[in-house]
Structure 1
Amino acid sequence: MASQEQLSAIKRAKVLMVGAGGIGCELLKTLALSGFQDIHIIDMDTIEVSNLNRQFLFRQSHVARDAVLRFRPNISITPYHANVKESCFNVDFFKEFDVVLNGLDNLDARRHVNRLCLAADIPLVESGTTGFLGQVTVHLKGKTECYECQPKPAPKTYPVCTITSTPSKFVHCIVWAKDLLFAKLFGDKNQENDLNVRSSDTANLSEHSEDVFECRKDEDIERYGRRIYDHVFGHNIEVALSNEETWKNRNKPRPIYSKDVLPEEQTKENGNEEKGCAADDVSAMDIGNLTFDKDDQLAVEFVTAAANIRASSFGIPLHSLFEAKGIAGNIVHAVATTNAIIAGLIVIEAIKVLQKDNNNYRMTYCLEHPSRKLLLMPVEPYEPNRSCYVCSETPLSLEVNTQRSKLRDFVEKIIKAKLGMNFPLIMQGASILYEVGEDLEEDMVAIYAANLEKALSELPSPVTSGSVLTVEDLQQEFSCSINIKHREEFDEEKEPDGMLLTGWVEAPVDNDNNKPIRNDESTSNALPSVETLEGEKDDEIQETSEVVEAFAGKKRKLSEVSEVTAPDPSGPSSINQNKPEKLDIDDKDDELIISDDWESLTKKKKL
């Protein structure tokens, strides 16, 4: 039973939920049934039939608000069918709430909300699930680590040479089909693309070299499709084979032409039927101006077909449409019961936050299966990482070839992709190098656009080794400093961006003892944060985590750290490695049991 104090805190709270998908659906239901009276929801998606296998609150016709009001008609639910990154959801908006609860499915939005909560000084309860794994974490400005205190793994990237010339895995074929072929055929015709799109093959082209992907006058769609097919899967493979050095230690690919799988008379032999269907998909698409969308069935079918043809050419096993969609969309399939457990834990921590119960906050990890002898693992939150560039304002360092890398590369690969800024302002001293905003004058827009195409060292205020850039995002009310170091060469395999950003991973050094000082003691042993893949409405994912490897972690509890003294690296662990502690919910009669005896759980109350 909840105490009177808890009920009072619940009833007067104004709660912001961000995301109403897999976790959010269960969270909204639990909030309503727990007595919360004023709930605001931001979500940009709508309910689809394929969502209903795990979002039991809804029917096909429902939106989240309507579904809950059917059984809690007296509470106030305010929905915002929008993207949380829109300018109307600014710091002042966030300041209206007592707590923010995240049920998001992508890293970019999570980072955005984290920064807004820091700027507004509003508690954030984060969450995520992947299959049977899940976690809930509490973040309070200046008291616990923020969501970004521990670096999140960057999305996996692959060297261009591997993708375009020497694929060895099916994922290489998917990336090629999605980011190169699909983008070239149906995307922005002016964008740079690493496909070989020029040819002087006199058998197929006019005397002068031209863009193979341009449809010629009086050329019907089938003939155009066959020509593209032959160029991409036949001609380009033969060109690659001409470099014999490449294939000394590799299996040679096999050129595949349309006549081999799709005869002119459209007859298909039994052995060629599957590949023939793929050829149909590749050759019959209408040209447009599109970006790949994993929810676009035709786009997924095209990428799957193209990837399988390329895989066949390189001797890589073929994959089904379902498997290919998962790879192309970065999809991890959700489990409804895990979402429900995590939603319950979110509400538990939210109530503690509202009561300002500082000593009892928990980060709780949901483990994968009973053989680990644990159902849930709670640990105390960790203090802020003093090396965090977000909440501790520690400068970052960037190694880059300042003479070759353009400002555009810096903006796209570092500012947006790595730092998650949406509306960046880049300055060197008092000089503004780049700015994004709706109120910019036209001449300034032109100047900043021109700057994007200049090498860093060629900017009006040249960026060279030793330069310090200040980067701000006014919407997030967030800024950081980046120290620039010129570097000539980069390993294309290990550093495909041609840049290396460091800073918040490394610890400051204790000069007296000549050893690093870490708030978290060891990133290798630290409890891993839930990491993000792209969300997917059909197979809703939240995040991934390697939680079970964390039992040997030695991150420190807030209660063990003095406000003045740096933590002792040899201090006690925040995790009892033999018997994990139990997590109190309301009182001794209604608690969530954490036990090393799995069978005993059947005799005790469970969430």
Structure 2
Amino acid sequence: YDENNQVVPTSIIPLIDGGTEGFKGNARVIMHGYTSCIECTLDLFPPQVNFPQCTIANNPRLPEHCVEWVTSILWPKEKPFGPDVNIDGDSIEHIQWIVEHATKRANEHNITGINFRFTQGVVKRVIPAVASTNAVIASICATEVFKLATSSVLLMNNYTMFNDIEGIYMLTYPPEKREDCPICSNVPVRVQINETAKFQELVDQLIEKYQLIAPLICTQIDGKSKTLYMTSTKQMLELTKPHLRMTLQELGLANGIELLVGDPARASSMRVIISLTSSMETITAK
């Protein structure tokens, strides 16, 4: 950035991103400071599919439930290949063992459709790939690289969707930048939460809203830096875990206080300002 807090064009490293899932695909060109970043469009990404543990354990209805039962419940219990051996999705022996026990589980509940290929797909979370879709998206990405290298044509503006399930459909449009994006904007995000809430509720809200994995949460209270939550080491987890049961007021988190939140899933830390609301305000908002 220059003295006016504007992006220096020569410092930009362009990112050309593409991906496919079955007959659907997308490609985009990201220019920091000029286009929306991946974080701005995080809502476009579907959450990872997870199955309720109660359904897996007690009332499986799909073949996926049977495979998940073997991997999440039976494998840790029986440890078929040794106490310290985790499931290897590329191991024929591991997948075959899962197939055998998942088939038994499926037969008990009149479920069909379990085979080696299906089981490996569930274990490895395999996304189906179609060669024609891959070719189209790869060609779009290669074309954008050529444009960047030669400056011969204007770049894509800046996100393209592709769908060839029924015929061929394509759409190119520029996703808007989020003004509160923690990656490409310096503006802190605001999180509303009830003033009587416990710290656990705030952590859960941050994890769900910003898809965090293992958040590190710090703040400054009375001019002193304080680590509120940290899971990266066992010692810090033991020290900060009791904070989850405390209310925000007990931790000294007043209205308008700023938190610094880091996470392995994010390229940089994000600034979060807490906006406390009363119970009456929450009811009125609803």
User: Above 0.5 in TM-score?
Assistant: yes
Contact 2:229/2:241 (CA < 8 Å) preserved in 1? no
- Aligned: 1:381 with 2:274: no
Provide the secondary structure at the position in 1 that maps to 2:69: helix
Residue 363 (structure 1) aligns with:
159
- Give the AA of the match of 1:366: F
Contact 1:132/1:367 (CA < 8 Å) preserved in 2? yes
Residue 73 (structure 2) aligns with:
180
Judging changes above 3 Å, is the alpha-carbon distance between structure 1 residues 328 and 447 closer, same or farther for their aligned structure 2 residues?
closer
Judging changes above 3 Å, is the alpha-carbon distance between structure 1 residues 446 and 183 closer, same or farther for their aligned structure 2 residues?
closer
Residue in structure 2 matching 1:395, options 173, 185, 189: 189
- Give the AA of the match of 1:365: M
Residue in structure 1 matching 2:219, options 428, 436, 447: 428
Q: How many residues align?
A: 256
Share of identical aligned residues, percent?
24
Q: What are the within-5 Å matches in structure 2 for residues 11-30 of structure 1?
A: none
Deviation at 1:481, TM superposition (A): 1.7
* Superposed CA offset, 1:210-232 (max 9, x none): xxxxxxxxxxxxxxxxxxxxxxx
Tell me how far apart the structure 2 counterparts of residues 420 and 350 of structure 1 sit (CA, whole Å): 33
* Superposed CA offset, 1:333-364 (max 9, x none): 32333323322211211233342965654433
- Give the AA of the match of 1:122: I
Q: What are the within-5 Å matches in structure 2 for residues 198-277 of structure 1?
A: none
- Give the AA of the match of 2:21: T
Residue 126 (structure 1) aligns with:
17
Q: Please, what is the CA RMSD of the aligned residues?
A: 4.0
Judging changes above 3 Å, is the alpha-carbon distance between structure 1 residues 458 and 365 closer, same or farther for their aligned structure 2 residues?
closer
Tell me how far apart the structure 1 counterparts of residues 98 and 252 of structure 2 sit (CA, whole Å): 40
- Give the AA of the match of 2:96: E
Provide the secondary structure at the position in 1 that maps to 2:71: helix
Tell me how far apart the structure 2 counterparts of residues 157 and 130 of structure 1 sit (CA, whole Å): 18
- Aligned: 1:476 with 2:272: no
Residue in structure 2 matching 1:449, options 205, 224, 237: 237
TM-score by length of 1: 0.36
Higher-Rg member (1/2): 1
Provide the secondary structure at the position in 1 that maps to 2:86: coil
Contact 1:349/1:362 (CA < 8 Å) preserved in 2? no
- Give the AA of the match of 1:381: P
Residue 316 (structure 1) aligns with:
111
TM-score by length of 2: 0.70
- Give the AA of the match of 1:140: M
Deviation at 1:304, TM superposition (A): 2.3
Provide the secondary structure at the position in 2 that maps to 1:149: helix
- Aligned: 1:328 with 2:123: yes
Judging changes above 3 Å, is the alpha-carbon distance between structure 1 residues 161 and 321 closer, same or farther for their aligned structure 2 residues?
same
Unaligned ranges ≥5, structure 2: 1-8, 278-286
Contact 1:143/1:383 (CA < 8 Å) preserved in 2? no
Provide the secondary structure at the position in 1 that maps to 2:99: helix
Residue 556 (structure 1) aligns with:
none
Contact 1:366/1:377 (CA < 8 Å) preserved in 2? yes
Judging changes above 3 Å, is the alpha-carbon distance between structure 1 residues 309 and 173 closer, same or farther for their aligned structure 2 residues?
same
Residue 563 (structure 1) aligns with:
none
Tell me how far apart the structure 2 counterparts of residues 169 and 465 of structure 1 sit (CA, whole Å): 48
Deviation at 1:318, TM superposition (A): 4.5
Residue in structure 1 matching 2:50, options 153, 157, 164: 157
Judging changes above 3 Å, is the alpha-carbon distance between structure 1 residues 329 and 159 closer, same or farther for their aligned structure 2 residues?
same
Residue in structure 2 matching 1:338, options 113, 133, 137: 133
Tell me how far apart the structure 2 counterparts of residues 378 and 348 of structure 1 sit (CA, whole Å): 17
Tell me how far apart the structure 2 counterparts of residues 484 and 172 of structure 1 sit (CA, whole Å): 41
Provide the secondary structure at the position in 2 that maps to 1:379: strand
Deviation at 1:171, TM superposition (A): 1.9
Deviation at 1:463, TM superposition (A): 7.5
Provide the secondary structure at the position in 1 that maps to 2:242: coil
Tell me how far apart the structure 2 counterparts of residues 185 and 352 of structure 1 sit (CA, whole Å): 56
